Amino acid sequence: MVDKKESGKSYSSKNIKVLEGLEGVRHRPAMYIGSTSKNGLHHLVYEVVDNSVDEAMAGYCDKIEVTLNKNGSVTVKDNGRGIPVEPHPIYKKPALEIAITKLHAGGKFDKGTYAVSGGLHGVGISVVSALSKHMIAKVRRNGKIYQQEYKIGKTLCNLKIVGKTDKDDTGTEITFFPDDTIFPTTEFDFNVLQTRFREIAFLNKGVRIILKEEKTGKKETFHYEGGLEEFVKWVNKTKDALHKPIYFTKTNNGVVVEVAVQYNSGYQENVLGFVNTINTVEGGTHVVGFKTALTRAINDYSNKNKMTKNGNLTGDDVREGLTAIISVKVPEPQFEGQTKTKLGNSEVKGIVDSVSMVSLSEFFEENPTIARRIVNKALDSQKARNAAKKAKDLVRRKSAFGGSGLPGKLADCSKKKSEETEIYIVEGDSAGGSAKQARNNQFQAILPLRGKPLNVEKASPIKVFSNEEISNLITAIGTGVGEQFDAQKLRYSKIIIMADADVDGAHIKTLLLTFFFRFMPELIKNGNIYIAVSPLYRVRKRGDHYVYSDEELKEIKKKLGENASVLRFKGLGEMDPEQLWDTTMNPKTRMLKKVTIEDVVQADEVFSKLMGDDVSARKQFIAERSAEAQIDI
Instruction: Count the neighbouring beta carbons within 10 Å of the beta carbon of residue 303.
Output: 13
Instruction: Count the neighbouring beta carbons within 10 Å of the beta carbon of residue 198.
Output: 20
Name 213's bridge partners: 68, 218
Q: Is 268 exposed, middle or buried (0-12, 13-18, 19+ CB in 10 A)?
A: buried
Q: Comparing C-alpha atoms, which of 386, 325, 30 is closest to residue 198?
A: 325
Given a contact cutoff of 8 angstroms between Cβ atoms, the answer to whether 320 and 396 are in contact is no
Residue 180 is among the residues annotated as catalytic for this protein: no
For residues 575 and 434, give the distance between their C-alpha atoms in angstroms, rounded to a whole number. 8
Q: Please pick, among 149, 502, 552, 614, the residue that the annotation labels catalytic.
A: 502
Given a contact cutoff of 8 angstroms between Cβ atoms, the answer to whether 253 and 259 are in contact is no
Phi, psi of 311, rounded to the nearest 5 degrees: 85, 175
For residues 220 and 190, give the distance between their C-alpha atoms in angstroms, rounded to a whole number. 10
Q: Comparing C-alpha atoms, which of 519, 440, 534, 529 is closest to residue 482?
A: 519
Name 258's bridge partners: 249, 327
Residue 500 is among the residues annotated as catalytic for this protein: yes
Stretch (H or E) spanning 140: strand 132-141
Q: Please pick, among 316, 353, 427, 605, the residue that the annotation labels catalytic.
A: 427
Alpha carbons within 13 A on the beta-carbon side of 256: 14
For residues 256 and 116, give the distance between their C-alpha atoms in angstroms, rounded to a whole number. 10
Q: Please pick, among 500, 599, 604, 605, the residue that the annotation labels catalytic.
A: 500
Name 494's bridge partners: 422
Those residues with Cβ within 8 angstroms of residue 35's Cβ, 6 or more apart along the chain or in another chain: none
Given a contact cutoff of 8 angstroms between Cβ atoms, the answer to whether 597 and 456 are in contact is no
Q: With helix as H, strand as E and coil as C, how does 456-524 read?
A: CCCCCHHHHHHCHHHHHHHHHHCCCCHHHCCHHHCCCCEEEEECCCCHHHHHHHHHHHHHHHHHCHHHH
Residue 574 is among the residues annotated as catalytic for this protein: no
Those residues with Cβ within 8 angstroms of residue 152's Cβ, 6 or more apart along the chain or in another chain: 22, 26, 129, 130, 131, 132, 133, 179
Amino acid at 101: T
Amino acid at 125: I
Q: Please pick, among 486, 504, 550, 578, the residue that the annotation labels catalytic.
A: 504
Radius of gyration of the chain (CA): 28
**Secondary structure class of 168 (helix, strand, coil):** coil
For residues 621 and 607, give the distance between their C-alpha atoms in angstroms, rounded to a whole number. 11
Given a contact cutoff of 8 angstroms between Cβ atoms, the answer to whether 343 and 285 are in contact is yes
DSSP 572: G
CA dihedral 42, 45, 46, 51 (to 10 degrees): 170
Q: Are strands 444-449 and 422-427 parallel, antiparallel or unpaired?
A: parallel
Phi, psi of 44, rounded to the nearest 5 degrees: -60, -45
Given a contact cutoff of 8 angstroms between Cβ atoms, the answer to whether 546 and 582 are in contact is yes
Alpha carbons within 13 A on the beta-carbon side of 581: 11
Residue 168 is among the residues annotated as catalytic for this protein: no
Name 68's bridge partners: 74, 213
For residues 98 and 126, give the distance between their C-alpha atoms in angstroms, rounded to a whole number. 9
For residues 583 and 129, give the distance between their C-alpha atoms in angstroms, rounded to a whole number. 44
For residues 14 and 7, give the distance between their C-alpha atoms in angstroms, rounded to a whole number. 15
Positions marked active-site: 427, 500, 502, 504
